[in-house]
Amino acid sequence: MVRKIYIAIFVVPVLSLASAIGMQGLLIPQSASILSTTGAGIAGNIDPSLNPALEKITHPSLQFSLNRWLGEMKGSRSVYYWGDKYPQHFSIQSWGAEDLELWDKNPDNSPLGRFGVHLVSAAYSLSHHFNTPYRFGFKIQTHYLHLFTSNLTGLSFDFGSLVPLAENIKIGAVLQNVGVSFKNSEKADFPLTAGLGVGINLPIIKSTLLADFLNVNSENEYRIGITTQWKWINFKAGRTLSENKNANALGFSFNYRRWQVHYGIYLHENSPVLGTPIFLDVRRYL
């Protein structure tokens, strides 16, 4: 009973239950590498979903992700990365859940009904240096959400920059989810996000420390993380702190020839009720 109640009042808002809540599905991590640091890495050159201002891509690659989020939510993401001087990416992702039970805040002996939710989006990003030591990037993303009898469509933009301060220190800045969306032909709001981050390379142990500050819909959030850059196996960890959310994450990746497998697990304060999110990425370098 408790699990069913939480699905109704917690998971559904994450995926945009109403226009007052907005497209909170945009805040779901999109890969195991992002999940493993709880989203820390604005200056970490990790993924265009964190900051579209990426550094050079040595080899083009294809990546496929199988993801399990809170409650009954399951998703996948397919990505193609390319571009040496001007890194680019194109991705398609989907999330969905079927046959969820809807319960009132004061539940009776039976649910109010059953419902499903589906979210599909496609994104493209480009990073450019403009003949400077810095990196600038943008990402454009389309969205389609179906929940109950409501349809929500939208178009959003992310903007980012990456600035080296010293040989082993970089800072990054992002402005995410700038755009417009419509719920049943009525205008709805995106979860506007602004963030600053710093990445500090530690050459002795071949690792990077990450620290981010974000403002998500006027609420402050702090994220810290660490990633390694070893040859065969690497580890990631992160922590998120905010007024309404405290979470930790761990992950590891294994490299073999042109293959990379990345696994991430997300530990939060409601794990016994909502379950433990697990993401798995498989990447093939071309």
User: Looking at the predicted structure, is the pLDDT value of residue 107 above 70?
Assistant: no
pTM: 0.85
- Pinpoint the alpha helices (H) of the chain: 2-6, 12-14, 32-35, 271-274
Quick one: average pLDDT of 202-222? 94
Q: Rounded mean pLDDT of the chain?
A: 84
Separation between Cα atoms, residue 170 and residue 45, nearest integer Å: 10
Give residue-wise pLDDT tens across range 263-283.
Answer: 999 998 777 767 889 999 999
- Among 10-14, 36-40, 125-129, 244-248, name the one with the lowest average pLDDT: 10-14
In angstroms, the first-to-last Cα distance of the chain is: 48
Separation between Cα atoms, residue 19 and residue 182, nearest integer Å: 9
Q: What is the DSSP letter of 24?
A: G
Separation between Cα atoms, residue 282 and residue 66, nearest integer Å: 9
pLDDT recorded at residue 118: 83
- The C-alpha R_g of the chain, in whole angstroms, comes to 19
Quick one: average pLDDT of 256-263? 95
Per CATH, the number for 25-94+118-285 is: 2.40.160.40
